[in-house]
Structure 1
């Protein structure tokens, strides 16, 4: 009887190793996906920041006009696009302007996009995607 218990114990010795290896691979895959998710979130924050800065620069492209004896800031879509493009060139960002303009002559609305590629875990996450962000900024005088 002792011999059969020892034989049964020896037969199950390798199953723990396979289970440990399986859990280790699962843990590594989970860590890699979390790293890529963090990288994606940081890349989106960079695109949001570029859009905010471009909209702010676009809102500074106003021209002052005097109407009824009061200064009025007039904003054109061409000026918004020009200022936002200049800012992104100075920043040397990989973001590009998708759309820039003014919906009401007072606000600058800029949409920026940038590509994102995974750094480590190409097997577990998509090959890449285009991140996009829209920001609006208003001029001070109206």
Structure 2
């Protein structure tokens, strides 16, 4: 009986090491996934801010007794460039336009670098966000 018991000494150590490695891998994956989620949310917020600024850059057009707000593509581009340039983080403006004269549509892009696996993804991952905003005066 003692010979059988002696053979089983230390057999739990590989199991514990396996679980520790698995737990560390899960923690690394969760950290990277959370960082990616936060980076995308920041880019979404930047696109929202740039679109809102673009929709606030309207001009009033008077035609007879009608008064309406009109957004131009150049105005949206100018406002969006100012917002993107003011924010840190290396985001860049992809496009900014006013497709229908009352809506500002802005697309921004940025690069996400994983916090723990950067050597495996040296160029990072390209992220993009598009937002639209309509002027309140129609």
CA RMSD for the aligned pairs? 1.7
TM-score, normalised on structure 2? 0.91
Counterpart CA distance in 2 for 1:91 and 1:69 is 41
Counterpart CA distance in 2 for 1:121 and 1:29 is 11
Name 2:96's counterpart in structure 1: 100
**Aligned residue pairs, count:** 137
Q: Does 1:75 align with 2:71?
A: yes
Change in Cα spacing, 1:106 to 1:40, as seen in structure 2 (3 Å) is: same
Q: Does 1:66 align with 2:62?
A: yes
Deviations 1:58-98 (Å, cap 9, x if unpaired)? 11121111112232111111111110000111223421111
Larger radius of gyration: 1
Counterpart CA distance in 2 for 1:122 and 1:6 is 51
Counterpart CA distance in 2 for 1:74 and 1:6 is 90
Deviations 1:90-131 (Å, cap 9, x if unpaired)? 2234211111101101000001111101112458x8553111
Name 1:33's counterpart in structure 2: 29
Please, which of 106, 109, 114 is the counterpart of residue 113 of structure 1?
A: 109
Counterpart CA distance in 2 for 1:122 and 1:24 is 22
Structure 1: give runs of 5+ residues left out of the alignment: none
TM-score, normalised on structure 1? 0.88
